[in-house]
Amino acid sequence: MSGSPNALIEARHLSKFYSRGLYALKELNLSVLRGEFVFLTGASGAGKSTFLRLLLMQERQSEGELFVNGYNLATLSKTEVQEYRRGIGFVFQDFKLIPTRTVLENISFVPEVQGVPLAQQRRKAFQVLKWVGLQHRMNAYPGDLSGGEQQRVAIARALVNEPALLLADEPTGNLDPDLSLEVMNLFREINAAGTTVLVATHDRELIRLVGRRTITLDQGRVVEVG
């Protein structure tokens, strides 16, 4: 069985527990359509980060079904997991840039690990760096950049493989309100170019300003979709 054809992400009765009775997610049912920009929100401990870890296959579900981009995540082999992850970009709250590598080298690190030839690595990295407006900082190191610039580099790194799905976990948590909105506008542009975007955040004001469909979790369950 596969997911619905119009859904890029589909969870059916999805649960994750670490011991019986201690659920991080419980009977979760939700879907994100291809080409959507969706916020996932809820208080700390609601299950947002757990759901993202399942999507990244850092953990596996305990019960239920999870389909992403045509893959049934419960059945993937190690080789298939690597192939699946190439279709996903991920943006962290704390950037996770390599301090000893330049901006361009940070972005080309992903294709480098995947064995892409050097010239192609650099070309792809420069293209996405230009797209986020930081090509003039290509030879700088992360420590030379502002927080907003570091997050833009992190976004460029997430986009270098042209993913079908971009995930972000509290991507504006370390940024001021103006920079937060700037990052969200960049996500809107990414979404308008065809990438499905799922952003986990507890920032209700930011959600209100951006105005996209929002799925609210509480104690591992969907309690509101609006």
Is the residue at 21 inside a domain?
no
Is the residue at 220 inside a domain?
no
Question: What global pTM score does this model have?
Answer: 0.92
Strand partners, 33: 7
Using alpha carbons only, what angle is made at residue 222 by residues 218 and 226, rounded to the nearest 5 degrees?
Answer: 110
Q: What is the pLDDT of residues 81-110, one digit of tens each?
A: 988 998 999 998 888 899 999 999 999 988
- Are 57 and 16 a contacting pair, CB within 8 Å? no
What are the phi and psi torsion angles at 32 (to 5°)? Answer: -125, 120
Query: How far is the C-alpha of 214 from the C-alpha of 55, rounded, in Å?
Result: 18
Domain boundaries, position 119: 35-57+77-213
> 22 CB contacts (<8 Å, ≥6 apart)?
none
Query: How far is the C-alpha of 71 from the C-alpha of 61, rounded, in Å?
Result: 14
Q: What CATH number is given to the structural domain containing 141?
A: 3.40.50.300
Q: What is the pLDDT of residues 146-187, one digit of tens each?
A: 999 999 999 999 999 889 999 999 998 888 888 899 999 999
Tell whether the model's pLDDT for residue 64 goes beyond 70. Answer: yes
Query: How far is the C-alpha of 135 from the C-alpha of 43, rounded, in Å?
Result: 37
Is the residue at 10 inside a domain?
no
Domains of the chain: total:
1
Return the structure tokens found at 22: 């201690």
Q: Is 171 exposed, middle or buried (0-12, 13-18, 19+ CB in 10 A)?
A: buried
Is the residue at 159 inside a domain?
yes
Using alpha carbons only, what angle is made at residue 84 by residues 33 and 13, rounded to the nearest 5 degrees?
Answer: 50
